[in-house]
């Protein structure tokens, strides 16, 4: 963890005095004025604390520290001024989210205590963020593993939907954010308590009883309810909750593009699971065109018409590797479904199959799809840490 401290002032003599006074106890850097200060921040995000003068030419300290907050949110900001003005102090705290407000002249003891407190605050900020990231990662893994154990069919379908949304996003030139990837992977988390027979009837096109239909139709709401109280997953919960909404029923369809993508992928996968060919699926969906975002529908048609990003292979259980996708379900000789068709193989899945092989006679070899080099679907599983674009 960095302990670098940057002093920013328009008086070179004052900067020199800080460097001499504090260098034995702190890792001190200086920048002459706000322009050089911003350049220093932009060149590295490793400053733990920034101490800025209030009165500087071209940019005052409040504006400068506001920019520092935008460029390096984790950096602790301290304001130093010769004007002990309460209004200025309040403005500095409110606009720049300043940690401390010090007045000139500032003794070495006072400055040292403020810097030590700033370094401790920086450590706490980083520790809290890492704790949140670890908690989020663990929550995602628990949820996906729970779905795979409770309802392998729903888990396999979610895997297929995730791969479809990736292909759709590529065709539509839309970045695959971690929220979209995770929403697809957890799209059927609300099905954990559904009887397996309900999903099997849906997949085969059989009619559901009114009670079964009500249960299935409620799964987006149930799934959203499971996720909405987990920090940083509020957006994922919203996408999942809206996954069944028709395009023509949504007041602001552009605002919920990720949910529209999820609906397209979900409906396509449902028809594909019934054995329909891609062209027939698209024709069937086009018959109710107002149900789907027209731009996204065209991208879906383009994506499913592209050459496959996978090669088929027959492998034994001990040959399973991360990134492979099951072309057929893994079952025991007694007919128990262990992993459903469409499941993307992850490290936990491999471990579970090895453990299952100790208790069951598993039918092998199995057919898998192996990602070709540079294929978009070769990316890591959604249950891994969120991607860098919008990572928590």
DSSP 287: T
Preceding amide of 223 cis, omega within 30: no
CATH 3.40.50 fits 310-371, yes or no: no
Determine the average pLDDT of the residues in 205-218: 88
CATH 3.90.105 maps onto the chain at: 310-371
Q: How confident is residue 307, by pLDDT bands cut at 50, 70 and 90?
A: very low
Percent of the chain with pLDDT over 90: 27
Q: Tell me, what's the pLDDT at 243?
A: 92
Side-by-side strand order, sheet with 47-53: 27-32, 4-9, 47-53, 76-81, 100-103
Residues with Cβ within 8 Å of residue 44, at least 6 apart in sequence = none
Q: Tell me, what's the pLDDT at 222?
A: 92
Cβ contact 154:195 at 8 Å: no
Preceding amide of 105 cis, omega within 30: yes
Which residue would you say has higher pLDDT here, 113 or 154? 113
Which residue would you say has higher pLDDT here, 84 or 130? 130
Distances (CA, A) of 304 to 279, 309, 313: 9, 11, 21
Least confident of 55-59, 83-87, 96-100: 83-87
- Dist CA 125 CA 130 (whole Å): 9
CATH 3.40.50.2300 maps onto the chain at: 4-128
CA-derived radius of gyration, the chain: 28
Determine the average pLDDT of the residues in 286-309: 82
Q: Does the pLDDT value for residue 88 go beyond 90?
A: no
Q: Tell me, what's the pLDDT at 392?
A: 38
Q: Does the pLDDT value for residue 58 go beyond 90?
A: no
Which residue would you say has higher pLDDT here, 372 or 190? 190
Question: Structurally, what CATH architecture does the domain formed by 4-128 represent?
Answer: 3-Layer(aba) Sandwich (3.40)
Percent of the chain with pLDDT over 70: 87
Convert the pLDDT of each residue in 241-258 to its tens digit: 999 988 877 666 567 899
Distances (CA, A) of 162 to 181, 376, 377, 378: 6, 12, 9, 12
Q: Does the pLDDT value for residue 48 go beyond 50?
A: yes
Which two tokens mark 43? 């060149």
For the chain, give the mean pLDDT: 83
Residue with token string 């071209």: 58
Q: Tell me, what's the pLDDT at 93?
A: 64
Q: What is the CATH number of domain 151-308+382-390?
A: 1.10.3210.10
CATH 1.10.3210.10 maps onto the chain at: 151-308+382-390
Which residue would you say has higher pLDDT here, 329 or 44? 329
Convert the pLDDT of each residue in 248-290 to its tens digit: 776 665 678 999 999 999 999 989 888 888 889 999 999 987 8
Which residue would you say has higher pLDDT here, 140 or 115? 115
Determine the average pLDDT of the residues in 183-194: 88
Q: Tell me, what's the pLDDT at 86?
A: 59
Determine the average pLDDT of the residues in 227-237: 86
Q: Tell me, what's the pLDDT at 246?
A: 86
What b-and-e string marks burial along 22-34, b requiring 16 or more CB atoms within 10 Å of the CB? beeebebbbbebb
Which residue would you say has higher pLDDT here, 54 or 238? 238
Instruction: DSSP for 44-83, please give it.
Output: -S-EEEEEEES--SSS-HHHHHHHHHHH-TTSEEEEEES-
Determine the average pLDDT of the residues in 24-47: 89
pTM score of the predicted model: 0.57
Which two tokens mark 34? 């706000």
């Amino acid at each position: 963890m960095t302990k670098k401290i940057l002093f920013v002032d328009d008086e070179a003599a004052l900067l020199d005095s800080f460097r001499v006074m504090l260098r034995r106890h702190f890792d001190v850097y200086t920048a002459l004025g706000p322009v050089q200060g911003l350049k220093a921040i932009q060149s590295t995000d490793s400053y733990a604390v920034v101490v800025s003068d209030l009165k500087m030419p071209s940019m005052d300290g409040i504006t400068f520290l506001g920019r520092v907050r935008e460029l390096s949110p984790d950096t602790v900001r301290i304001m130093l001024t010769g004007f002990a003005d309460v209004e200025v102090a309040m403005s500095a705290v409110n606009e720049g989210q300043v940690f401390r407000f010090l007045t000139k002249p500032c003794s070495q003891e006072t400055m040292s205590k403020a810097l030590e407190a700033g370094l401790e605050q920086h450590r706490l900020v980083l520790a809290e963020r890492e704790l949140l990231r670890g908690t989020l990662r663990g929550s995602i893994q628990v949820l996906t593993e729970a779905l795979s154990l409770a309802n392998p069919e729903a888990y396999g379908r979610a895997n297929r939907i995730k791969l479809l949304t990736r292909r759709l996003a590529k065709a539509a030139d839309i970045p695959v954010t971690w929220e979209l990837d995770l929403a697809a992977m957890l799209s059927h988390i609300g099905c954990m308590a559904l009887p397996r027979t309900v999903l099997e009837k849906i997949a085969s096109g059989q009619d559901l009883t009114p009670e079964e239909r009500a249960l299935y139709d409620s799964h987006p709401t149930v799934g959203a309810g499971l996720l909405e109280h987990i920090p940083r997953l509020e957006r994922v919960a919203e996408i999942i909750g809206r996954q069944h909404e028709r395009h023509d029923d949504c007041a602001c369809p552009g605002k919920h593009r990720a949910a529209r993508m999820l609906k397209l992928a979900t409906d396509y996968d449902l028809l594909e699971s019934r054995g329909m060919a891609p062209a027939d699926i698209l024709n069937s969906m086009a018959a109710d065109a107002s149900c789907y975002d027209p731009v996204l529908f065209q991208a879906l048609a383009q994506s499913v018409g592209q050459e496959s990003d996978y090669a088929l292979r027959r492998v034994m259980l001990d040959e399973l590797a991360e990134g492979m996708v099951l072309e057929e379900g893994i079952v025991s000789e007694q007919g128990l479904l262990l992993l459903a068709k469409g499941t993307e193989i992850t490290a936990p899945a491999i471990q579970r199959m090895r453990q299952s092989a100790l208790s069951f006679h598993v039918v092998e070899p199995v057919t898998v799809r192996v990602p070709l080099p540079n294929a978009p679907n070769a990316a890591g599983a959604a249950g891994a840490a969120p991607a860098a674009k919008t990572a928590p």
